[in-house]
Structure 1
């Protein structure tokens, strides 16, 4: 993950996303266990993500500040926020960053509280960063000492030191689906960023074709870590693999420092997926931004596609501006998040919302309040969201549409900034309720008078119902037994 500003720019052009999809087409899954789990995952609709690690002590972007690409969002800041030293000194900054685990002691870490907040928001699954690109493992791996349970990490003696296990157990106890974020690149590994060469960019810093023994060491290391995660941490639903530049493709014209390299970075995804699924039958594997048979669903980042996509997908997005904790982050209004959730779901996707815990292990108070506000809306309107699927026309003006498996359609009316009540009359294009159906607004039991006029359903909303449902971010109108008009 990178900063939100960068990613909004990267994904602003839909044609670029479409070009990637055409170059690396989606391959439907055939394993019936995975297909079944994907269908269940699509029922969940709304997920909760957390980027967390020792970098939260400085309040800087996760991992990327030790990547020496010459772009604004990467490389060290002018001043080390912890010591005030190392101005414009990459080597000194990186050394200081790599010492962050020695002061990481999040004594207020309580994953049950996180799970309570996520449940209150209405989310149904969690994706937690077990390891980001900097290589620090938030689980008790035996493959490296650069981990949360190492003896030089103050938190290692805490009963909750095996953080990933604690997070998964706490969320699983609340009935959540469980997703493990894992970075394929590992910038701490000597077999990825080998110390005998410089590290000009995010990629492996040697030609894997010239040094196959180094690369094999890295592949074996990665498989061993994922073997641990998939065999020792309870039932998992999703393996969410980040770092799409680690893939088998060659780029002959790539230049050092460009963000790409000529040589392949083949992590042996067939073997890795087979290992993971031996341990976790039916596991959803998301080799994101790579395409092919191991990207079971796609993950547009900080972007909502303009139209429905013809495969399972999930928009991953920050509640604030940053993926990881930064002081005084700017959190999106709850109304905006609800509208984005509705838009995503109407187009057939899932919405994965990220919040970064702070250095003490607490979710920021302002983020908790936003999530509670979102959850209040979901408590009334969740039945129009969960277990729904896309239905044409998907969107029409201020309406977004969802369909349940029993044929009920919801037309969700998105309120303008200053719109506090529903209009007295709604003209809903498209799906028609079955004859004699009782149309209502979620949040009220009153049956509303309705009629068809051409290709629209006209619904009269009495003043009492408008008052009863006032102040919502959006209103869900239930159209039982709806069928598509032609």
Structure 2
């Protein structure tokens, strides 16, 4: 009988895997007019911050993943501690979490000065620890016995959202669909096997329904008690209906795939009843509740024909690690320009430490980005992609008034060249070209190799860094 069950299970897995290998589902356009309006606004914002933070920062380890019983590089933990002893110690971190230097206004000010227009905060990661005052579980930062719970700012998510909104930054909530602390997801009757639910949802439907309601209730708490939220950013894409499994999502299962349907239609309807126009991002679950897609730690090679956002770490890790190495300001600005030229948004991550403070490198990096944005932001905000998107070291963005920016990417320590040339896009007759940060019009001409823009020596000596943006008042029809 056991062999028969295994054979049937393997056949089911093969069948689902085979269908998942078919062409990936296309983007499903939103129909709600309020959401479409918000998506259009979001595409104007271009640059945002995501913050991964939780009790795991006390150990300086990867967020959540070290308690996942999978043999992957990012799930590595201390090999000298048996798994269940490690899990117990990890979950005890919730009690000792005490970020006494938590001042979200400082983060928000740095983000605004960097030119960030929106933010996404981790209200709950996969480990299930809640950084908000949920009534659904005691595994939360405001629970009695937690070191920080007596602090007047203990409801961390609320404090963060309010601080950023006061700086004019749009607020979004990250929320993990899987919950490795919930007995309705990782039932303590069974050991966890991988990142997925650890019991048969068909055999125990009442337990799965309990988890669905738990998820619904927590999201409703966020949608009703934390002010205006404009993005619901859902992670843990393996929690999805079986029919929406893909080759990628199946690769995340070490066990047989299950129908982990949490009823996104009900969740989205409820969330938007409280937050009209809410953008819902059910990450990697291609369907009606993935209003935009989120390539992680990578920039697509070419423009995508749907709304998208690259989420990427400013340093080397999503969560706090001591002595993290941060990407250079030059690299981050080049990433931003490349992403925006391809029609995307850039969501850049920082991870606060256990005391509630960011690495000093995070502040200096954001300050460097902000100095560039003060001069060049008009080439970034409110733009859309325009062919040919990029030609060599020149990227292009288009404003809604028809003007175009040609943005020349400067290498580290490179002096602005005497001539900037590009192909594939031509200024219209009589067009005016002007560099942001300079007053005079630039001299330009066309030749067999494209457009040639002359840069006066006076501008070359000004020490421009990272990139320069040249506004072209109007271009020929392409």
TM-score bucket of the superposed structures, by smaller chain: over 0.9
- Residue 21 to residue 225, structure 1, CA distance change in 2 (3 Å): farther
Aligned residue for 1:40?
41
Aligned residue for 1:275?
270
Distance in 2 (CA, whole Å) between partners of 1:255 and 1:95 is 29
Aligned residue for 2:11?
none
Aligned residue for 2:68?
67
Report the Cα offset of residue 21 of structure 1: 9.9
Distance in 2 (CA, whole Å) between partners of 1:257 and 1:243 is 10
Report the Cα offset of residue 300 of structure 1: 0.2
Aligned residue for 1:288?
283
- Residue 124 to residue 289, structure 1, CA distance change in 2 (3 Å): same
Q: 1:140 aligns with which of 125, 133, 144?
A: 133
- Are 1:93 and 2:86 matched, yes or no? yes
Q: 2:170 aligns with which of 159, 164, 177?
A: 177
Aligned residue for 2:341?
346
- Normalising to structure 1: TM-score of the pair? 0.91
Report the Cα offset of residue 484 of structure 1: 4.1
Report the Cα offset of residue 121 of structure 1: 1.1
CA contact 1:203–1:261 (8 Å) conserved in 2 = no
- Residue 238 to residue 256, structure 1, CA distance change in 2 (3 Å): closer
Aligned residue for 1:192?
185
Aligned residue for 1:6?
none
Distance in 2 (CA, whole Å) between partners of 1:194 and 1:53 is 23
Q: 1:302 aligns with which of 284, 287, 297?
A: 297
Range that drifts further, 171-180 or 435-444: 435-444
Aligned residue for 2:459?
465
Distance in 2 (CA, whole Å) between partners of 1:326 and 1:285 is 30
Q: Following superposition of structure 1 onto structure 2, how do residues 374-393 of structure 1 map, counting pairs within 5 Å?
A: 374-393=369-388
Distance in 2 (CA, whole Å) between partners of 1:314 and 1:397 is 23
* Structure 1: segments with no counterpart, 5+ residues: 1-18, 79-86
Report the Cα offset of residue 71 of structure 1: 1.9
Aligned length: 457
Aligned residue for 1:482?
475
- Are 1:121 and 2:114 matched, yes or no? yes
Map Cα deviations across residues 101-143 of structure 1 (whole Å, 9 max, x no partner): 1111101101110101111111100000000000000000001
- Residue 252 to residue 109, structure 1, CA distance change in 2 (3 Å): closer
Distance in 1 (CA, whole Å) between partners of 2:143 and 2:252 is 33
Report the Cα offset of residue 467 of structure 1: 1.4
Report the Cα offset of residue 418 of structure 1: 3.7
Map Cα deviations across residues 352-406 of structure 1 (whole Å, 9 max, x no partner): 0000000010111011111111111111111000010000000111111000000
Map Cα deviations across residues 158-184 of structure 1 (whole Å, 9 max, x no partner): 111111111111111111111100000
Report the Cα offset of residue 261 of structure 1: 3.4
Aligned residue for 1:364?
359
- Residue 233 to residue 112, structure 1, CA distance change in 2 (3 Å): same
SS class of match (2:471): strand
Q: CA RMSD in A?
A: 1.9
Report the Cα offset of residue 75 of structure 1: 4.2
Distance in 2 (CA, whole Å) between partners of 1:207 and 1:357 is 37
Map Cα deviations across residues 251-287 of structure 1 (whole Å, 9 max, x no partner): 7999999445322100100000001000111100000
Map Cα deviations across residues 439-474 of structure 1 (whole Å, 9 max, x no partner): 111111121111222472221111001112x24101
- Are 1:263 and 2:258 matched, yes or no? yes
Distance in 1 (CA, whole Å) between partners of 2:413 and 2:168 is 37
Distance in 1 (CA, whole Å) between partners of 2:77 and 2:251 is 19
Runs of 4+ in structure 1 deviating by more than 6 angstroms, as ranges, are 251-257
- Are 1:24 and 2:25 matched, yes or no? yes
- Residue 348 to residue 257, structure 1, CA distance change in 2 (3 Å): closer
CA contact 1:399–1:412 (8 Å) conserved in 2 = yes
SS class of match (1:223): helix
Map Cα deviations across residues 181-229 of structure 1 (whole Å, 9 max, x no partner): 0000000000000000010100000111110000000000000000000
Q: 1:415 aligns with which of 388, 410, 421?
A: 410
- Residue 20 to residue 436, structure 1, CA distance change in 2 (3 Å): farther
- Are 1:208 and 2:201 matched, yes or no? yes
